[in-house]
Amino acid sequence: MTLTLLLDLDDSLLKTNQAAFVPAYFQALSTRLAPRLDPNRLGRALLAGTNAMNHSQDFSRSLKDVFDDVFYPALNLEKNSLEAEIETFYDESFPTLQAITEKKPEARPFIDWAKQRGYRLVVATDPLLPRKAAHHRIRWAGFDPEEFELITVFEDFHFSKSFPAYYAEVLGRIGWSEGPVIMIGNDIERDILPAKRLGLPTFFLDGEPGSSSRPEAGLRGSLPDLRRYLESAAQTSLLPDFSTKEAILAILSSTPAVLNGLTFDLDPALWAFRPDQNEWTLTELLCHLRDTEREIHQRQLSLFNGQGAPFIPRPDTGVWASQRDYAHEDGPAALRDFIAARRETLEILTNTNDQGWRQKARHAIFGPTDFREVTGFIADHDRMHIHQAWADLKRL
């Protein structure tokens, strides 16, 4: 099993000094845009857009879209009308902020060691900034962005680190592979507790805490301490547990976001790519998810009506692709329909009280079960097919 390290950036891999960095960042952007915009109004628009991203749970809209939909109206401008100036800012002005940051001397040896061990490396930074900004900051920390399998940025992601669904989206974007995972960061409220709520093991870097409160920190120490721990820990102790109600809901919320991210700007011809004669195309897979959501998952959940222990059937859906001629459907349209169906499913789940989540049933395949476990089967189904889609796209 390959260990996946989810690594926070600010004050975990890079000394950022947020108290100085954020005002300097706002000031630099204000200076760049000053000929067109009042700095005070721009500052209010930036804060409003950032606040909207922090609170968004809309899995159909990237955080960039969420930001833009607040930022530009606050300035009474057409959406994207500042794109050229903002791109120039990140090319020319943003790099000057490096002077406020410092490399962490223990970060480079730790990453080199982790690479030698063959670990998967993800920069799980709060995706509130664009790709260019994230890549600059990774270079300031002494790394090449190409050293990491994934870097979370606002063009690609749909949740901030406020939510367990962010961590589910991260794992989905790297294929939901089975194996040990650990989240490493210095902020209890955004790095540690949301990851724990998904069911991930965590390690709290407490040398320079990003939070004043430290309850439930669990494993803690410096990067060298983390290395010593990982050298001695059993891999099985780092396996996630996705069985709780909160973890299941986070995974189900993340699935549309992951699929949006994986297929964004995908060449139309690739929707019909068949990796093997016995495997589905991406279009067929999306049609399968859409129809299973509507005709299997939602019907299974509807059987739980509080009256006794229902029998949960599980029809064979493997024949639908050929019977329903999925290959000739429209893949992006199937994804949109799946997203709409998933919204309905999540509405059912969020309106089910705790007693309902404990209702007993008997499953056609798994035998005695309950509402929570049946919902967990839906999340497992999501993870399996996301892994399939991710693996197919990696082969292109």
Q: Return the axis-axis angle of helices 371-394 and 164-173, rounded to nearest 10°.
A: 40
Question: 336: which residues sit within 8 A by CB, 6+ positions away?
Answer: none
Q: For 49-65, how does the pLDDT look when each residue is reduced to its tens digit (9 = 90+)?
A: 999 999 999 999 999 99
Q: In the chain, which ranges are continuous DSSP H helix?
A: 18-33, 39-55, 63-74, 83-88, 107-116, 131-140, 164-173, 193-198, 223-232, 245-263, 282-292, 298-302, 320-323, 331-350, 354-357, 371-394
The reply to whether 259 falls in a domain is no
8 Å CB contact between 6 and 170: yes
Q: How high is the pLDDT of residue 217?
A: 61
Domain boundary among 201, 221, 238: 238
Closest CA to 138 of 110, 186, 90, 98: 98
CATH number, domain containing residue 188: 3.40.50.1000
Query: Do 94 and 125 fall into the same domain?
Result: no
pLDDT more than 90, % of the chain: 85
Q: How high is the pLDDT of residue 277?
A: 85
The reply to whether 244 falls in a domain is no
Average pLDDT, the chain: 94
Q: For 270-303, how does the pLDDT look when each residue is reduced to its tens digit (9 = 90+)?
A: 999 998 888 999 999 999 999 999 999 999 999 9
Q: How high is the pLDDT of residue 87?
A: 94
Q: Judging by DSSP bridges, how do beta strands 120-123 and 4-7 pair with one another?
A: parallel
Closest CA to 12 of 163, 208, 161, 218: 208
Q: For 223-276, how does the pLDDT look when each residue is reduced to its tens digit (9 = 90+)?
A: 999 999 999 999 999 999 999 999 999 999 999 999 999 999 899 989 999 988
Q: How high is the pLDDT of residue 396?
A: 76
| Statement: residue 67 has pLDDT above 80 | yes
What SS3 state is found at 308? coil
Query: Do 32 and 157 fall into the same domain?
Result: no
Q: Cβ-count burial of 196 within 10 angstroms (0-12 exposed, 13-18 middle, 19+ buried)?
A: buried
Query: Do 276 and 195 fall into the same domain?
Result: no
Structure tokens at 220: 């803690």
Domain boundary among 37, 71, 99: 99
Q: For 348-357, how does the pLDDT look when each residue is reduced to its tens digit (9 = 90+)?
A: 999 999 999 9
Q: How high is the pLDDT of residue 307?
A: 77
| Statement: residue 216 has pLDDT above 90 | no
The reply to whether 257 falls in a domain is no
The reply to whether 260 falls in a domain is no
Q: How high is the pLDDT of residue 324?
A: 96
Confidence label for 24 from pLDDT (cuts 50, 70 and 90): very high
Range in 92-101, 123-132, 206-215 the model is least confident about: 206-215
**What CA–CA distance (Å, rounded) separates 249 from 266?**
27
Domain boundary among 84, 99, 114: 99
Confidence label for 306 from pLDDT (cuts 50, 70 and 90): confident
Query: Which helix (H) or strand (E) segment is 5 a member of?
Result: strand 4-7
Query: Do 139 and 194 fall into the same domain?
Result: yes
The arithmetic mean of pLDDT across residues 23-34, rounded, is: 91
Query: Do 108 and 232 fall into the same domain?
Result: yes
Phi/psi of residue 239, each to 5°? Answer: -75, 135
Range in 104-108, 135-139, 215-219 the model is least confident about: 215-219
The reply to whether 186 falls in a domain is yes
Whether this prediction's pTM lies above 0.85 is answered by yes
**What CA–CA distance (Å, rounded) separates 100 from 198?**
34
The reply to whether 256 falls in a domain is no
Q: How high is the pLDDT of residue 207?
A: 65
The reply to whether 294 falls in a domain is yes
Query: Which helix (H) or strand (E) segment is 151 a member of?
Result: strand 150-151
The arithmetic mean of pLDDT across residues 296-313, rounded, is: 91
Query: Do 141 and 186 fall into the same domain?
Result: yes
Task: Report CA torsion sign: 389, 392, 394, 396.
Answer: negative
Closest CA to 6 of 121, 150, 174: 121
Q: For 315-340, how does the pLDDT look when each residue is reduced to its tens digit (9 = 90+)?
A: 888 899 999 999 999 999 999 999 99
CATH number, domain containing residue 376: 1.20.120.450
| Statement: residue 222 has pLDDT above 80 | yes
Query: Do 70 and 84 fall into the same domain?
Result: yes
**What CA–CA distance (Å, rounded) separates 113 from 104?**
15
Query: Do 116 and 91 fall into the same domain?
Result: no
Phi/psi of residue 19, each to 5°? Answer: -60, -30
Query: Do 109 and 72 fall into the same domain?
Result: no
376 versus 217: the higher-pLDDT residue is: 376
Query: Do 200 and 109 fall into the same domain?
Result: yes
The reply to whether 80 falls in a domain is yes
Range in 11-20, 33-42, 135-144, 184-193 the model is least confident about: 33-42
Q: How many domains does the chain have?
A: 3
User: What is the span of the domain harbouring residue 375?
Assistant: 266-394
8 Å CB contact between 365 and 314: yes
Query: Do 282 and 307 fall into the same domain?
Result: yes
| Statement: residue 213 has pLDDT above 70 | no
Query: Do 141 and 182 fall into the same domain?
Result: yes
| Statement: residue 18 has pLDDT above 90 | no
**What CA–CA distance (Å, rounded) separates 205 from 191?**
10
Cβ neighbours, 10 Å, residue 273? 16
